[in-house]
A and B are shown apart, each in its own frame.
Chain A
Amino acid sequence: MRISRFAAATATIAASALVLSACAAPQSEVVEGSSITVAWNQPFYSYNSNTSFGNATANANIVYMTNAGFNYYNNEPALVRDESFGTYELVSEDPLTVQYTVNESTQWSDGVAVDAADMLLAWAANSGVLNTPDFDPGEFTDPETGEFTDEYPTDVVYFDGAIGSGLELVSQTPEFDGKTLTLTYDEFFVDWELVFGVGLPAHIVAEKALGIDDPAEAKQALIDAIVENDQEALAAISSFWNSGFNFTEMPEDTDLVVGSGPYTITDFVADQYITMSANPNYRGDNLPNIEEVTVRFIPDPLAAVQALANGEVDIISPQATADVADALAALDNVTVLGGEEAVYEHIDLTFENSKNGTFDNALVREAFLKTIPRQQIVDTLIKPLNPEAQVRNSQLFLPGAPGYDETVANNGMDAFTEVDIEGAKALLAEAGVTAPNVCILYASNNPRRVNEFALIQASATEAGFVIEDCGSPEWGGLLGTPGAYDAVFFGWQSTSLGVTNSSPTFKTGGINNLNYYSNPEVDALLDELDVTLDPERQIEIQIEVDKLLMDDFYGLTIFQFPGVTAFSDRVTNVDPGPLSPTIFWNVWDWEPTEAN
């Protein structure tokens, strides 16, 4: 009885509930929007890519899209000036004086003008001139976290900028006025064009570091601190500049994502993605066509390919492997661009301090180079990934860069494209050497290099060389070790087209001169190159150096690392270049298609 009464009560509740439900019709519960999504293999983690902490491609890409500058690299690659941001001119060569002027309309995404204060901060940070001398931040860095400890002195100035790149040669505080800043170099520096740009917004840095609310006041405070070398203020500014812009998810304080570029960061989820939307306050010429660009962090190359196939991402640029190439070839509605990266493989012969002394004799060097199957290496290992791959024929020029074709016609490296076993045997006979030992160092944990070694070994053995396998997983640490090897092959990464990059590698005693090469003629030419401003003359000198290197049988370059970019039919005008920021260099040219 009790049960049935209870059930009746329940039924009553049920009936009244049915009546209640008459209201509220269903409505759409999704908030709409549209975007282009790009896959990148590493998460973004710092908005200041000039510090040693933030110096990574994953950061540089985002900073590039969210900040405009005086110049950038296009896909040729060549340095392009962006005069809609600002202009610069060489005022005098002796002393080297450069004047930078930001356009009247150029402003930050919060509406504050970009001006001399910002440039002054960039100089202070990346020259390190204002840093307290002999201050070792290591003493106050917690070795476990990398952050500064509580004992960190408050009156010490330490900017952890791109010091050593060349800007440290501007040791006097630059002259500035309104939107103009003039840098005067103490010594001549040929790559001056590459070392200076407007970095982080000065008003934000000063506001946060000094606790000021007004942007104009903050800028003035920053200018005063730098001009008067106010240690206390600079200490706070440098500390904030070093670490204030490191974040791994969307910061609550959106002042930290203020930028001057076509896009601005609007959303950032840790380890997942970062979203940039068109910056309404951007006044330059590089106006974007796509409202919103999202970069998703996908470390696994094949996962990126499948995400592209599933429409989750629209543009990918994974590490090129045979698997990735096969997987991409099977996709419909996807454009695949083969391409080249800025890393190139090369084999160097050791001139002194080698293991066996084999290559002390130029004839033996020539004979050995004749046996290196460069074409075969490219055909078997690189062509499957980049069908247009070619043998690289220059130590100094990036293929496609101005001067490359001239140097190839001149330096004679292309004569070594195919192997010449007979020629090598004849040269060995002429040198009077039989069965010379060659110990080759390479990365034995890298399958591609193991294959390269096998090809080289087979070919050189035919000519009578005795090849020792000196491959090691720790090849990097062995580079330049006296008596460790006779020849080495590995990759050099070009980070810019700057001509000062050659000196460390080819000059006697240079930091990257790992094979103890020394040629006074080359040294003299490189000395001249480091003080030559005329681009034509720069190319001439580099062509000469390239020829001298070949005449000395320095070694051979083999190939440019293959890159691959693929994009869906939702976007067009994607056209990657070899130098950072690779696929992103023309983000403003990307256009949505009808499928978007």
Chain B
Amino acid sequence: MAAFVIRRLIASVFVLLAATFLMYNLVAFSGDPLEDLRASNAPNKEQLIESRIALLRLDVIPPLRYFLWLGGLFQGDFGVTVQGRSVNALLEQALGSTLQLVTIATVVAIILGLTVGITTALRQYSGYDYTVTFISFLFFSLPIFWVAVLLKQFVAIGFNDFLEDDPQLPALLIAALALVSGLLWASIIPGSMRRKIITFAIAAGAAASMLVIMNLVDWFTYPGLTIGGVAIIALGSAIGFTALITGLKNRRALNAALVVAGLGLALYFPFQFGISYSITEWWMLAALAIATVGVSLGIGWFMGGVDKGPVMRVAAFTGFFTAGAIALDRFMMVWDDYASSGRIRGRPIATIGSSTPNLEGSLWVQGVDIYTHLLLPTIALILISFATYTRYSRASLLEVLNQDYIRTARAKGLAERTVVVRHAFRNALIPIATIVAFDIGGIVGGAVITETVFGWTGMGQLFQNGLNAVDPNPVMAFFLVVGGLAILFNLVADLVYASLDPRIRVN
């Protein structure tokens, strides 16, 4: 095992070194780093050219200059840009901003992609399956720069226009959304035609009435879940997670989940109008989340009886989602304050940057600000990777479901839930783990276009600006980080594969 890791790492380092040599020279030979100065007629042009030559060692030919750069690199130094700025400092900033941008997008894309992929596999060849297949191929083939510009035009500029003057959903839109919701649920939930029609009617009716209520209470100006919405989410997650993890027959689990949900609801008012004002730092919120999970686990342990593990898990998930709903409601409470502030002027959804300049306010306002800025780039990033994840997880689960051991499991009388969750899903995750590991390695470098379009100065900008200025140093910093991550996660993928699948041994 150790020998395998070391062998792989050594080989990778040499590959990376060779790649950096190539890359460095390609960049250095791609143009003239003095071009802007040559076209200038500044009086001290000669001095400017000389100082740039000295700064970037342009007197040394690129293949040799590479080794100067490499020497610096071994001392942990990425060099300077054409403007003389330290690449180390730039890299630090760029990496931070890119991670902020891509982390949420990646997590959401993985969760959403897996969920949708699995449900489509379970409802293979249903209307739902075909629709998802169509949509994911559509997203897959869209160029991201175009999607991003469209998102800005419609989801930001268009939606802000909608919000600006008395936001009311038109009746036609409500009807269309109700129809879509009805069709979606009818195709997901199996059964006879009659049952499908009932499902359709319930889903469409629920959607329509919810949207009408939203219109009536001016929801788009004063959004919120209120205690009612939080209660629905809390009870829904209590029942849902119980059904998923232990099955509803496990009364202990159901009771524990309901107790956790009830406790959460009880804390709704004191939190919203008391405790939340004293939360001023993000770590406090994180600590609260951890405490919630801890308390929920405790309740699960206390009420778990003989088989505590699954009960604790059910309780923890329920607790987390209930607390999440309460926090979400708290963020929504400051929405109107935020949107009508002098900095936002009624146009909350942002098209550029990561925060509103000079906006000051509580943690909740800052949170809403982060949300309005991350919304569009996150959607753009998700749309692309969502397609891959749904396809892979669907194919993988279908393959597993056709295995002999699944038939055996069914034959011995296991419940369908146990067969799917415990026997099929786990095995289906093995190939997906590889893909996820690859993707995580690639995300840092994969957001170049998204960053440019949304005005984030991250890794993509570092790369692009360097390339435009024929400046190898920042390009190499980008390349090393991205290449290093790719190699690292390739290795991680191999190791994860081996640990998930006992048939595979690494040596």
CA A146 to CA B54, docked complex, whole Å: 10
Whether A311 contacts B345 in the complex (CB less than 8 A), given A6-B259, A23-B274, A296-B357, comes out as yes
Q: Are A14 and B54 in contact, with the CB atoms below 8 A?
A: no
Whether A143 contacts B72 in the complex (CB less than 8 A), given A56-B83, A306-B153, comes out as yes
Instruction: Say yes or no for A294: interface residue by CB 8 A criterion.
Output: yes
Instruction: Say yes or no for A491: interface residue by CB 8 A criterion.
Output: yes
Contact of A505 among B31, B41, B259 (CB under 8 A): B41
Chain B hits for A269, CB < 8 A: 355, 357
Least Cβ–Cβ distance between B341 and chain A, in angstroms: 4
Contact of A21 among B40, B43, B93, B270 (CB under 8 A): B270
Contact of A490 among B39, B262, B267, B345 (CB under 8 A): B39
Instruction: Say yes or no for B79: interface residue by CB 8 A criterion.
Output: yes
Q: Are A17 and B277 in contact, with the CB atoms below 8 A?
A: no
Chain B hits for A34, CB < 8 A: 342-343
Instruction: Say yes or no for B398: interface residue by CB 8 A criterion.
Output: no
Report which B residues bind A (CB closer than 8 A).
30-32, 34-35, 38-48, 51-52, 54-55, 57, 68-69, 72, 75, 77-80, 83-86, 88-89, 93-94, 97, 149, 152-153, 156-157, 160, 252, 255, 259, 262-263, 265-267, 269-270, 272-274, 277, 302-303, 333-334, 337-338, 341-343, 345, 347, 349-355, 357-362, 364-365, 452-455, 457, 461, 465
Q: Are B362 and A306 in contact, with the CB atoms below 8 A?
A: no
Q: Are B51 and A52 in contact, with the CB atoms below 8 A?
A: yes
Q: Which residue of B lies closest to A15 (CB)?
A: B266
Q: Which residue of B lies closest to A168 (CB)?
A: B44
Chain B hits for A145, CB < 8 A: 77, 79-80, 86, 88
Whether A297 contacts B457 in the complex (CB less than 8 A), given A56-B83, A275-B357, comes out as yes
Chain A hits for B85, CB < 8 A: 45, 53, 146, 248
Name A4-63 residues within 8 Å CB distance of B. 6-7, 10-11, 13-15, 17-18, 20-21, 23-26, 28-35, 37, 43, 45, 52-53, 55-56
Q: Which of A173-181, A210-218, A363-371, A472-480 contacts B (4 or more CB under 8 A)?
A: A472-480
Q: Are A298 and B361 in contact, with the CB atoms below 8 A?
A: no
Chain A hits for B338, CB < 8 A: 30
Whether A14 contacts B156 in the complex (CB less than 8 A), given A144-B78, A303-B454, A494-B41, comes out as no
Q: Are B266 and A504 in contact, with the CB atoms below 8 A?
A: no
Instruction: Say yes or no for A147: interface residue by CB 8 A criterion.
Output: yes
Q: Are B43 and A500 in contact, with the CB atoms below 8 A?
A: yes
Least Cβ–Cβ distance between B17 and chain A, in angstroms: 18
Chain A hits for B52, CB < 8 A: 52
Contact with B along A318-357 (1 / 0, CB 8 A): 0000000000000000000000000100000000000000
Q: Are A24 and B46 in contact, with the CB atoms below 8 A?
A: no
Q: Are A309 and B453 in contact, with the CB atoms below 8 A?
A: no
Whether A311 contacts B347 in the complex (CB less than 8 A), given A163-B47, A504-B41, A511-B45, comes out as yes
Least Cβ–Cβ distance between B327 and chain A, in angstroms: 15
Q: Are A272 and B84 in contact, with the CB atoms below 8 A?
A: no
Chain B hits for A11, CB < 8 A: 262, 266
Q: Are B41 and A162 in contact, with the CB atoms below 8 A?
A: no
Chain A hits for B259, CB < 8 A: 6-7, 10
Chain A hits for B302, CB < 8 A: 6
Instruction: Say yes or no for A384: interface residue by CB 8 A criterion.
Output: no
Chain A hits for B153, CB < 8 A: 306
Q: Are A14 and B274 in contact, with the CB atoms below 8 A?
A: no
Chain B hits for A267, CB < 8 A: 357-358
Interface centre among A11, A20, A26, A146 (most CB of B within 10 A): A146
Least Cβ–Cβ distance between A133 and chain B, in angstroms: 16
Q: Are A28 and B337 in contact, with the CB atoms below 8 A?
A: yes
Q: Are A147 and B43 in contact, with the CB atoms below 8 A?
A: no
Q: Which 7 A-B pairs have the closest CB atoms?
A: A14-B266, A21-B269, A164-B44, A144-B72, A271-B457, A476-B35, A31-B360
Q: Are A307 and B352 in contact, with the CB atoms below 8 A?
A: yes
A-B contact pairs, 10 of them (CB 8 A): A13-B263, A34-B342, A37-B357, A45-B83, A146-B85, A163-B44, A271-B93, A298-B352, A303-B455, A310-B156
Least Cβ–Cβ distance between B60 and chain A, in angstroms: 10
Least Cβ–Cβ distance between A329 and chain B, in angstroms: 15
CA A310 to CA B359, docked complex, whole Å: 17
Q: Are B452 and A20 in contact, with the CB atoms below 8 A?
A: no
Contact of A312 among B41, B86, B350 (CB under 8 A): B350
Whether A492 contacts B351 in the complex (CB less than 8 A), given A26-B333, A473-B31, comes out as no
Least Cβ–Cβ distance between B34 and chain A, in angstroms: 6
Q: Are B365 and A312 in contact, with the CB atoms below 8 A?
A: no
Contact with B along A480-518 (1 / 0, CB 8 A): 000000000011111100101100110000011000000
Q: Are B266 and A18 in contact, with the CB atoms below 8 A?
A: yes
Instruction: Say yes or no for A138: interface residue by CB 8 A criterion.
Output: yes
Interface centre among A28, A34, A273 (most CB of B within 10 A): A28
Contact of B43 among A143, A165, A298, A312 (CB under 8 A): A165
Chain B hits for A165, CB < 8 A: 42-44
Least Cβ–Cβ distance between A189 and chain B, in angstroms: 10
Q: Are A272 and B273 in contact, with the CB atoms below 8 A?
A: no
Least Cβ–Cβ distance between A46 and chain B, in angstroms: 9
Contact with B along A511-532 (1 / 0, CB 8 A): 1100000000000000000000
Instruction: Say yes or no for A431: interface residue by CB 8 A criterion.
Output: no
Instruction: Say yes or no for A299: interface residue by CB 8 A criterion.
Output: yes
CA A172 to CA B477, docked complex, whole Å: 46
CA A30 to CA B38, docked complex, whole Å: 50
Q: Are A495 and B40 in contact, with the CB atoms below 8 A?
A: yes
Given contacts A17-B269, A310-B157, A310-B351, 16 further A-B contacts (CB under 8 A): A34-B342, A45-B83, A52-B52, A143-B55, A144-B75, A144-B78, A145-B77, A146-B55, A160-B51, A163-B47, A165-B43, A248-B85, A272-B457, A296-B353, A302-B149, A490-B39
CA A165 to CA B347, docked complex, whole Å: 48
CA A101 to CA B95, docked complex, whole Å: 49
Instruction: Say yes or no for A115: interface residue by CB 8 A criterion.
Output: no
Name A268-296 residues within 8 Å CB distance of B. 269-273, 275, 292, 294, 296
Whether A303 contacts B453 in the complex (CB less than 8 A), given A270-B93, A492-B41, A495-B41, comes out as yes
Q: Are B93 and A272 in contact, with the CB atoms below 8 A?
A: no
Q: Are B80 and A144 in contact, with the CB atoms below 8 A?
A: yes
Q: Which residue of A lies closest to B362 (CB)?
A: A29
Instruction: Say yes or no for A80: interface residue by CB 8 A criterion.
Output: no
Whether A312 contacts B54 in the complex (CB less than 8 A), given A33-B343, A248-B89, comes out as no
Least Cβ–Cβ distance between A163 and chain B, in angstroms: 6
Least Cβ–Cβ distance between A344 and chain B, in angstroms: 11
CA A505 to CA B42, docked complex, whole Å: 11
Q: Which residue of A lies closest to B260 (CB)?
A: A10
Chain A hits for B359, CB < 8 A: 30
CA A248 to CA B90, docked complex, whole Å: 9
CA A297 to CA B455, docked complex, whole Å: 8
Q: Which residue of A lies closest to B94 (CB)?
A: A271
Contact of B337 among A29, A142, A160 (CB under 8 A): A29
CA A26 to CA B364, docked complex, whole Å: 13
Q: Are B269 and A33 in contact, with the CB atoms below 8 A?
A: no
Contact of A310 among B160, B342, B354 (CB under 8 A): B160
Q: Are B38 and A479 in contact, with the CB atoms below 8 A?
A: yes
Instruction: Say yes or no for A3: interface residue by CB 8 A criterion.
Output: yes
Instruction: Say yes or no for A572: interface residue by CB 8 A criterion.
Output: no
Chain B hits for A311, CB < 8 A: 160, 345, 347
Chain B hits for A380, CB < 8 A: none
Q: Are B352 and A138 in contact, with the CB atoms below 8 A?
A: no
CA A328 to CA B288, docked complex, whole Å: 47
Q: Are A511 and B46 in contact, with the CB atoms below 8 A?
A: yes
Q: Are A491 and B39 in contact, with the CB atoms below 8 A?
A: yes
Name A64-121 residues within 8 Å CB distance of B. none
CA A271 to CA B93, docked complex, whole Å: 8
CA A504 to CA B40, docked complex, whole Å: 11
Chain A hits for B457, CB < 8 A: 43, 271-272, 297, 299
